[in-house]
Every structure is written in structure tokens, then in C-alpha cells.
């Protein structure tokens, strides 16, 4: 389920923006069932799925993990919203906001003091969404999709 929604939402977001071969290579590496099995097996990770009716169809999810971001002040008080995906058709319905609130709630419940995320630097819609949730850009990283490296913004929210 996570593989399907993650791959579909990545394709929706980046088809026509990134090279098709890079998108497919990224999917094989980052959206395989094995990749998600590793996320689900790690005890510090938390996953939450958004479903719609009828039939509890999955349309989005979050995965929160220990941080893996290039920040000089990274600490044990930090947590990362590694993935927040929502199928395009359901954006603007409040589901994305609910997923973000769940990520913040998870981080606070576990005693973290800062929630971090990385986002493609040209994904202006996502960046605006994160800023509305209170995130601010605090760094940058380079992220490889397939054979191409892109600039990402690293954003943080003090909890």
C-alpha cells in the first residue's frame, strides 16, 4: 500500500518536471516494498496512513524517522518527517493538513523538540504548505533522483 501511494504521488508530482528514467530509477530504489518494510521494522519510526471512503482506500501517508539530514546542529531532540505523500486528487481537502498535524503530534508525544524535513527546492507548492504549517528553511542538501542530483531545502519546525 505504501509503495503504491508513494510511487503514484511521486509520479504525479514530478512527471514532466524530472526525467522519466530518473523517476523510474528513484521508484525502484525508494518506493519498493522492501524499502517500506525497512521503515516499518525500525522501532523509532512511525507511519500513519490516510484512507477515504468507501472501502478505506489509501490516499496518503506520513513516515517519521530518526533524522538523516546534513545539518550542523542535528541532535537527539530532532525527528524527521521523512515522507508526507498525498495523491493530487485529495490535495486541498484537509487530508494533507491532518497528516501534517499527525506528524507534529507524533514528534511531540515522543518528546522531540524539532521536526525536520527535506523538500525539492523547486516544489514551491509543497514549500508553501510547509511554511503554512510553521516550517522555516534552515539548510539545504543535494538529493539524487535516478542519475540526476537536485537541490533540496531542509526545513525545520520548533516544537
Looking at residue 99, what is its pLDDT? 98
For a pLDDT cut of 70, what percent of the chain falls above it? Answer: 100
DSSP 4-48: HHHHHHHHHHHBTTB-HHHHHHHHHHHSSHHHHHHHHH-TT-EEE
| pLDDT tens per residue across span 35-76 | 999 999 999 999 999 999 999 999 999 999 999 999 999 999
**In the chain, domain spans:** 2-158
Strand residues in the chain grouped as ranges (E): 46-52, 57-65, 78-86, 114-120, 136-145, 148-158
Facing residues of 79 across strands?
Answer: 115
Looking at residue 32, what is its pLDDT? 95
Question: What does CATH list as the number for 2-158?
Answer: 3.40.630.30
Q: By the 8 A CB rule, do 50 and 99 touch?
A: yes
Amino acid at each position: 500500500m505504501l509503495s503504491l501511494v508513494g510511487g503514484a504521488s511521486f509520479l504525479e508530482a514530478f512527471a514532466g518536471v524530472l526525467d522519466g528514467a530518473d523517476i523510474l530509477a528513484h521508484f525502484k530504489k525508494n518506493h519498493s516494498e522492501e524499502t517500506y518494510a525497512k521503515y516499518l521494522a525500525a522501532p523509532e519510526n512511525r507511519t500513519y496512513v490516510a484512507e477515504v471512503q468507501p472501502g478505506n482506500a489509501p490516499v496518503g501517508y506520513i513516515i517519521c524517522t530518526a533524522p538523516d539530514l546534513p545539518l550542523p546542529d542535528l541532535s537527539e531532540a530532532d525527528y524527521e518527517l521523512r515522507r508526507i505523500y498525498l495523491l493530487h486528487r485529495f490535495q486541498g481537502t484537509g487530508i494533507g493538513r491532518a497528516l501534517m498535524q499527525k506528524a507534529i503530534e507524533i514528534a511531540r508525544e515522543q518528546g522531540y523538540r524539532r521536526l525536520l524535513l527535506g523538500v525539492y527546492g523547486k516544489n514551491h507548492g509543497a514549500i508553501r504548505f510547509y511554511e503554512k504549517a510553521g516550517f522555516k528553511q534552515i539548510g539545504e542538501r543535494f538529493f539524487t533522483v535516478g542519475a540526476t542530483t537536485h537541490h533540496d531545502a531542509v526545513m525545520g519546525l520548533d516544537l
